[in-house]
Amino acid sequence: MKPFKSNSFRNATLLFLVLIIFSNCTSDTTESQTKNSKLVTMSQMQKVKPPVATKVPHEMTIHGDTRVDDYYWMKLSDEQKEAETPDSQTANVLSFLNAENDYTKKMLSHTEKFQKDLFDEIVGRIKKDDASVPYKNNGYYYITRYEEGKEHPIYARKKENLEAKEEIILDENVLAEPFDYYRIGGQSVSLDNKILAYGEDTLSRRIYTLKFKNLETGEMLPDVIENTTGGAVWANDNKTVFYTQKDDALRSYKIFKHKLGTPSSQDQLVFHEKDEIYGCFIYKTKSKKYLVLGSYATLTQEYKYLDANTPDGEFKIFEPRNRDMKLEYGISHYNDKWYIRTNLDAQNFRLMECPEGKTSRDNWTEVIPHRKDVLLEGMDIFEDYLVLSERKNGITNLRIRPWKGDEHYINFGEDVYSAYTSTNLDFDTEVLRVGYTSLTTPNSVFDYNMKSKDFKLLKEQEIVGGYDKSQYKSERLYATTKDGVKVPISIVYKKGYEKDGKQPLLLYGYGSYGASMDPYFSSVRLSLLDRGFAFAIAHIRGGEEMGRQWYENGKLLNKKNTFTDFIDCGEHLISKNYTSSDNLYAMGGSAGGLLMGAIINMRPDLWKGVVAGVPFVDVVTTMLDETIPLTTGEFDEWGNPKDKEYYDYIKTYSPYDNVAAVDYPAMLVTTGYHDSQVQYWEPAKWVAKLRDVKTGDNPLIMHCNMSAGHGGSAGRFERHKETAMEYAFLLDLAGKIEMPN
């Protein structure tokens, strides 16, 4: 795929302005104030005229119900977006997006200097010449480091010890130079340490081209493989790699085998996942003995395995998929056994084991039983220890279980935190690499001796300019919902924050896919906290913070629990005088953007301002269109609206379908033109409809990153320009922007 050429597209759009009506004019008052170098408030900027999208009614009928989408024309195919010369529809869409960006720039023009200062402040806290903690793998220490003045990482390694000469594997700064967007995907080195395989994405749609580099000579091999997920898995012969390709809907659906030195057209198809609700992947076990091929859906998984020494052999089934019983499982290998984390008769999962040659579930025996109040999230296996990641009351605990002897939990000394096992590639060691953070503790990496229980701090994130943890306070609160459930809230603020109901508070949420939003430190967030904001995370249903049932009770026909939980958390914070509806702000992205769309429809009066990032807001239409990336694999999360029961339910909360003539809070919506997960047209249509229907004068602005996708800009610092814009939007609404002299 060609990189997006913004200038050529913009020039072409000048010829096509038939469908779009917008104004680039400001009032004389605004021009005068700008000339006099005086800042104006966002409310004064309301005299700037917003873009107005032409309505082209498009009828969609199913189950005897007809919906009319006036902005359906904004949807473009990949071919239209990538064309060298845009057709009229593409040009009209680009004109509208550029008009929205121009409008947002004008609406925030009074914050431009502040945005720049805020950006400098945010990136000023980031150590410019930073480096990761090295980890050892197969005789080499691997390091990711950054150099001052550069946006992208440098990947390096040292042989045997950290005093050895550094070998630069890849310098992403050099590779990124020709592109507006560039990101390296999975990296893997052959067992003989000679060849590196890596993926590169130059469009931000998470479609990677697989490339190979000779690490001894520095030369690139002629092998190039298009349209992959970015990773390659090596067999033990150092010449065979397995990789996954995507279909037109960006579903991982085929696994191929490639022999170095042969054209990719000759690659052998190893596996084709024909069921469209499944994706597939491949990996090598920590023991390096097996290649494991997996198929996954939300409700069930299936694995096959092959001896990594015989890559031309046939994969054997581990345990067949079983959607009827919703069997989920994951596997790890050690010595002559397989270890299985599974929900078999265990909602919160349990741990089983079986012999190498007898993998069907009839041969599984229990190692760790199921517990109603503890979610078994993962495991790490060592020669003498089994390490379990267990979530209880919203917090992940690390349990050290010797194969022989007494077990214990790691004591981190805080009540509200996020802990996880990091890179642990060796079996024969007593040292566990651990990651740790909290709302007040910067990201840290420890080596923990599982025998002596001693911690060794390897690195704590350095906050340039200094950071005094004692000046900030975190709490864990619980909001009781309308149906009697207690929802955890993690909150942090700078000491001196008055609980008088007058202070600004930003409430963040996600609540989908069983993804738990752990309390974590953010140096970026200090720009809000130091200006008087509190920041809170609502651990709402739809995640797994409180166990698997927390997820089950926030999906499918229980999805609205996610939205009402978030609203109840906001009301709880108000009732406890942390803030008020005049000072309460909300933020969420992707499925969290859906959350934002739902809560403003349900309770538009509760929020002063909302930031909705890459929001999934046109749920009914998207879930009915199986050509859109990721749709088919999402049926187990949202339901398939081709089933009338799900159609009717989804329609009751889909933000786009429930826009009403009400006074919505001030809103900033962000999107990416190349987003593969939530296509740009969803937020664009939503903003157009909101602007047409809503009442009141609260600002509604949208920023579309024309050269990025779902994750925004790839650069280490560049991405924070959007952060500065979002924070300036919030701080402006809260009256917290410093006025110039």
Instruction: Give dist(CA 426, CA 423) in Å, integer.
Output: 9
- How far is residue 437 CA from its own chain's centroid? 18
Instruction: Give dist(CA 538, CA 556) in Å, integer.
Output: 20
Tokens 């942090």 correspond to 492
Q: Are 683 and 614 in contact (CB under 8 A)?
A: yes
Handedness of CA 136, 141, 146, 151 (dihedral sign): negative
Name the pairing type of β-strands 140-145 and 166-171: unpaired
Question: Two tokens at 441?
Answer: 């503790």
Buried/exposed 491-501: b ≥16 CB within 10 Å, e otherwise:
bbbbeebeeeb
Residue among 306, 399, 303 at smallest CA distance from 351: 399
Tokens 């410093």 correspond to 738
Residue 285: CB atoms within 10 Å? 17
As a whole number of angstroms, the longest Cα–Cα distance in the chain is 80
Q: Are 282 and 242 in contact (CB under 8 A)?
A: yes
Reported as type and span, the H/E element at residue 635 is helix 635-638
Tokens 């499982």 correspond to 329
DSSP state string for 92-113: HHHHHHHHHHHHHHHHTGGGHH
Choose, from 110, 539, 572, 710, the residue flagged as catalytic: 710
Residue 362 annotated among the catalytic residues of the structure: no
Choose, from 590, 654, 676, 707, the residue flagged as catalytic: 590
Q: Are 260 and 253 in contact (CB under 8 A)?
A: no
Residue 364 — left, alpha, or beta (φ > 0 → left; ψ -120 to 50 → alpha)? beta
Choose, from 333, 675, 713, 732, the residue flagged as catalytic: 675
Instruction: Give dist(CA 364, CA 309) in Å, integer.
Output: 26
- Three-class SS state of 10: helix
Residue 590 annotated among the catalytic residues of the structure: yes
Residue 431: CB atoms within 10 Å? 16
Active site residues: 590, 675, 710
